[in-house]
Every structure is written in structure tokens, then in C-alpha cells.
Amino acid sequence: PLPAQEDRRQIVQHYARHLPDNALTDFARRTAGMSGRDIKAICQQTERNWVQRMVLSQADLDLPEDMPLPGIADYVKTLKDGRQGTEAVHKLEGLGVKVYWGAEDGAVNDPWESIAGYVQQKQQVNESMLMALKHGDLFDALLTKTRRAAVQNAHVPKALLLQGPPGTGKTTVVRLMAQGMGVPMVHIPTTKIFSKWFGQSERNLADILDACQDLSKILSQPVVVFMDEIDSMAPARHNQMHEETRKVLSVLLTYIDGFVGSNLMLIGATNRREHCDPALLSRFENVITFPLPQVGDRRQIFGHYARHLTPADLDT
């Protein structure tokens, strides 16, 4: 069963033994209905938040005996934020989309270890996305000095397009990218957007993107919004375009423009770039092409999945 209040008190005491008795009792009461794993996660997240604040405040990190420790207010805030984040995730899942989380213990050292080949494409992803996110403080400091009115979170790229034939690893790259950044990824299937009811399709897209923004604000970190086969959602406009599709495209363009200064990043993938609307293509800051693998890429892929083969076998 779920732990009773006294059990929860002992769990909290195990992970936050510096808290006084009255704080332990108070926090145990607040965590009613939570599992031991949930309580452990709250304590660990509070510790991460506290360390981050210490680093950002440039506090003395020599770890003296009388160093300040997170108090009950810090744990309560993490608890509230966690519940709000859970509500935002449930809202997204209720809208039919899936939220994928980064590595459980934060960002992985090398997100590309599990994918072979495509050296140039990996470098482009690192330069266009990962570098800006991992070193956001440097970008913000630079923009503060170079721009007359620096926009908050301006270092966060707002839109990236991956193009190429099916099976070339576009979706895998997006998943690994989110893991490398240690941020959640929201995958929006086009089937969850379009509806047979008039006016519902554009409302579906707006509701999903609003929920993504809520999740990003609650977590105070970037959220990757991934749209596969984006050409089916935003095809090139023409006189015969269905009115519903035209409205969905208009909503998508409006939201992408609003991503500037936010913590949302749109990543689209398409097999047919030429079928995408020009106005949508103009919103993408970077376009990375994933062609069919060349000889060198194929050799690395074989080496990755068949390590027992000799170099001569791989060359063959």
C-alpha cells in the first residue's frame, strides 16, 4: 500500500535528516497519497534546486560546517511545482499527446552514443541546439552587451527542421537531443490534431501548444515540441486547400512567432520539404538534411550493430 503518514515521515527523515521534527511531520502530512519513490524524487529535486541557486548566487562553495541547507519552504515549493507539473502532463496526455522525459539522472554525457554515422548532422545539431542550451548563460551575457533590448531566453532556438527520407534517424535524433539536454519532449502526432468537427482542429493544436507552454513555465526549463510529418499539418497553401487545414497552419505560424523569448522549441520532421508551406519554412532557423547513409556512415552503422565483424568484413 501507499505509505501512511508515519511511514512518510520516516522516508522524509531518511532523505532530509536535517529538518526539525515539526517540519518532518508537516511535510509528511502534505505528501499524503504519494509513494516512497515520489517523496524521494521531491527531496532530490529540492537538493538540485538548492545547489543551482548556490551556484548562480556565486556563494562560497567551500562547504563549511555551518553551510546553509534547504529548509521546509524549499521542499514545499518543490512539492507544489511537482504537482502542477503533473497536472500539466496529465492535461497533455488527455489531449492525446505523449510526454517523453530526458535521462532520469539529468542530461547524459553523450547523446549520440546510441546512433552511428551522420557525423556532420550530429555536429549541426550540437551547434544549432545543444550548445545554445547547455551554455545559455554565456549567450544571455553576450546578448545583454550586444543588443539594445535583450529578450529573455533569446538563446533558446525556436524552430528546427529535419528533412530526409524515411528511416534515416530523424525521430531518433530528436529523442536523443531531448535526452542530451535533460528536458522533456512532447510528441504531437498529426492524427491528434485534425477533427471531423468544424473548428475543432485548430482548437486542438492551440490547446496542446498552450499546455506545452504551461509545462515549460512550471518546470522553468525548455520543452521540445516535436511534430513528425509536419508537411501533412502545414502543406503549401493553394486555392484548393481545405479551410480547416488553412486555419491549423495559421495557428501554428502564430504560435511559432510567439516562441521567441520562451522556453519552447519546435522541431519538425518531414520526408517532403517541397510540400511544406513557404511561410512555415521561413520560421525554421535551421534545416538539417538526413540523406540515405553514405559508405562511411553505413560502415559505422554495421560496426555499431555487428561489433563482431572484422574491419575487412565492414569494408565489404
What is the pLDDT at residue 72?
A: 75
Burial class (CB in 10 A: 0-12, 13-18, 19+), 277: buried
Q: How many CB atoms lie within 10 A of CB 174?
A: 24
Q: Where are the domains of the chain?
A: 5-83, 95-300
Distance in angstroms (rounded) separating the CA atoms of residues 95 and 53: 35
Task: Spell 175-209 as b/e; 16+ CB within 10 A means b.
Answer: bbbbbbbbbbbbbbebeebbeeeeeebbebbeebb
- Rounded to two decimals, what is the model's pTM? 0.66
Residues 274, 280, 286, CA angle at the centre, nearest 5°? 85
> What is the SS3 assignment for 228?
strand
Query: Do 95-300 and 5-83 have the same topology in CATH?
Result: no
CATH classification code of 95-300 = 3.40.50.300
Exposed, middle or buried by CB within 10 Å (0-12, 13-18, 19+), for 95?
A: middle
Copy the grid coordinates of residue 1: 500500500
DSSP 188: -
Alpha carbons within 13 A on the beta-carbon side of 60: 7
**For each successive 10 residues of the chain (316 residues), what is the average pLDDT?**
83 84 83 76 77 61 61 72 65 82 49 74 77 67 64 67 88 79 81 82 90 80 86 67 78 82 82 86 87 81 75 74
Q: Which among 177, 163, 187, 197 is positioned nearest to 280, based on CA atoms?
A: 163
Task: Indicate the CATH number of 5-83 among 2.60.40.10, 1.10.8.60, 1.10.10.60, 3.50.50.60.
Answer: 1.10.8.60
